[in-house]
Amino acid sequence: MTERTGKATAPPAGGATHTLGLLYPPAGRGRVHTTMQLAFIGGVAEAATPYGYDVLWGQADQYYKGPWDGCQVDCEALGIPNQSDCLALYYNIWMLQDAGVRPPTTWDELASAAERLTSGDRFGLALSAIRTEEGVFQFLPFLWQAGGDLDTFATDGATALSFLDDLIAKGSLSEQCVGWTQQDVNTRFLNQPPPCRSTVPGRSPR
């Protein structure tokens, strides 16, 4: 511990603990941590404990189950969830009212609303489909709603992809979405507004 940090401190007064954050990208195939890396992570956590560092610090129950489970290997916590987020469908109330469209709650309603709200060079829906984690994050809800997950993508993924492809084919969603980040979607919603956009709350207008 001392050699890696250059400094070891005494435990904080009052029995409190510090939180130890360890940024250690996976080096194994399939972007997973190797056995040696996992052993190192566990060793750091064990060595840090006498100095007042606690990886868990007794607040594991403060996290949502999904993100927390993603940091577990063989019932041991090897990390702390970071930047958990959710998606929302934002819409322009006035545009929907002018078009006589109600906020969609199903795929069929979303497709119908996007088609009716498309006009001229304005697309009815905007979302990010870029080839990064942002595009994956935007696509996952469609995959889940199709009844699938990443391990069944070969079958259920086709249903979700077909739905989005159909939106593009009908002109309701721009084919340029494959190059848009979530911030790009937000910028278009504010400056050249599509009536609806799917993105994270952190990208919402302030």
Q: What is the CATH number of the domain that holds 98?
A: 3.40.190.10
- Residue ending a domain, among 77, 112, 134, is 77
Mark whether 129 and 58 lie in a shared domain. Answer: no
Mark whether 63 and 136 lie in a shared domain. Answer: no
What domain range is 57 assigned to? Answer: 2-77
Mark whether 181 and 113 lie in a shared domain. Answer: yes
Mark whether 73 and 116 lie in a shared domain. Answer: no
Angle at 39 between CA 73 and CA 78, to 5 degrees: 35
Residue 82 lies in a domain: no
Express each pLDDT in 67-99 by its tens digit.
Answer: 888 888 887 777 777 777 788 888 889 889 999
Residue 124 lies in a domain: yes
Name the nearest CA neighbour of 53 among 87, 88, 2: 2
Express each pLDDT in 31-68 by its tens digit.
Answer: 555 555 655 555 655 655 565 555 545 667 778 888 88
Identify each DSSP E strand in 92-182 by its residue range. Answer: 125-126
Residue 92 lies in a domain: yes
Query: What's the total number of domains in the chain?
Result: 2
Q: Is the pLDDT of residue 159 over 90?
A: yes
Q: Is the pLDDT of residue 4 over 50?
A: no
End-to-end CA distance of the chain: 43
